[in-house]
Amino acid sequence: MLRLLPGLATRLLQGLIVVFTAATLAFICLELAPGDQATALGEQVPLAVRERVRALRGLNDPLPVQYLRWMRDIVRGDFGWSVSQQRPALPVLLEASTNSLMLVAPAFVLSLGLGMLLGAWQAVHAGTWRDRWSGRLTLAVYSVPEFWLAFLLILFGHGQLGLPATGMVNDMHAYYGLLDRLQDRLAHLVLPVITVTLVGIGIFSRYQRSSLQDVLQQPFVRTALAGGLATPRVRWLAWRAALLPVLTVAGLVLPAFVAGVVVIEQVFLWPGLGHTMLMAIAARDADVVTGCVIIGSSITVLGALLTDMLRVLVDPRLATGVSRIEPTER
């Protein structure tokens, strides 16, 4: 276990550099864009008041001074003030990130688990009609844009099954008991989670099928079968040998999951990081936008770090090289 520490420390340092770079780029882009937080107050606010806001917020200072002050506040845990919601930005970001994790975490776990099962089943039945038709179906689902898939699920799930199509809870949620609140929240999660999961299944199943099919063609598999080892046992060992490339892909796909949820949150009006960031951009709420970038990149980095740890658990030989990510391993 101690051998993991240098590699994990390196990965953590690399992650901090990624978060720092993303935050810096977000800050620069917002500063170079037309308007500022005082402009976001609207033309109905007197010019004198807007100039006073610029003076109080230091918006008239040179860009390097603003950047150093902003970075100092971020290190202290002060994410600034939300102009659009008129409250500190940190509670806004925590609520949005919690809502996004509520959507991304189950969708990622389901898509990875179901994709691996489907891919393994396809590899075992490679070349048969089951393999061909399931592959075509997953490819078709993966090829459909996420927003179209979301609309189709809304038409069926909401129109035919009565599932909630938008929001996190209904209007009477505050008056429900504990179990009814949980049921209401889960009902609102069904359609957006299924949408993200279906797209992910197509990705992971193809990698799992390819990886397991390669392993099943290796000489040690034929030797084990010829030696009388039970077929289910041989397939289990082959699946474990084919697991590493899939976990590697999972770490690489995670950023796309976090980014893709932005579209899903907009369609389903789910108040997560993506939805909050788009609303903040429209309102020129700079502190919330930069906070969303920092938290989103941090979630991606932590997910990649967790994936690296899972890869080491699957193959302990990688303990000395946990900081490396290879696209495939044979």
DSSP codes joined into one string, 61-118: S-HHHHHHHHHHHHHTT---EETTTTEEHHHHHHHHHHHHHHHHHHHHHHHHHHHHHH
pLDDT tens digits, one per residue of 76-97 = 888 888 888 888 999 999 999 8
Q: Is the pLDDT at 324 greater than 50, yes or no? A: no
pLDDT tens digits, one per residue of 25-62 = 988 888 887 777 777 666 777 778 777 877 877 777 88
pLDDT at 59: 76
| Cβ atoms of residues 290 and 244 within 8 Å | no
Q: Is the pLDDT at 149 greater than 70, yes or no? A: yes
Angle, helices 231-241/178-216, rounded to nearest 10 degrees: 100
Q: Is the pLDDT at 114 greater than 90, yes or no? A: yes
pLDDT tens digits, one per residue of 265-320 = 888 888 888 888 888 888 888 889 999 889 888 888 887 788 777 777 776 666 65
What's the gap between Cα 287 and its chain centre?
Answer: 21
Give me the residue label for tokens 């845990």.
77
| Cβ atoms of residues 215 and 124 within 8 Å | no
List, in order, residues 6 or more apart from 157 with CB less than 8 Å away.
163, 165, 190, 191, 194
Tokens of 184: 């209401």
Q: Is the pLDDT at 110 greater than 90, yes or no? A: yes
Give me the residue label for tokens 């658990």.
313
Domain map of the chain by residue range? 4-321
Residue 256 C-beta-side C-alpha neighbours within 13 Å:
11
pLDDT at 240: 83
Max alpha carbon distance in the chain (Å)? 87
pLDDT at 194: 92
pLDDT tens digits, one per residue of 52-76 = 877 877 777 888 888 898 889 888 8
Among 29-33, 115-119, 199-203, the range scoring the smallest mean pLDDT is: 29-33
What's the CATH architecture for 4-321? Orthogonal Bundle (1.10)
Give me the residue label for tokens 């397939």.
235
Tokens of 63: 């860009």
Alpha-carbon distance 307 to 16, whole Å? 17
List, in order, residues 6 or more apart from 286 with CB less than 8 Å away.
30, 36, 37, 80, 280
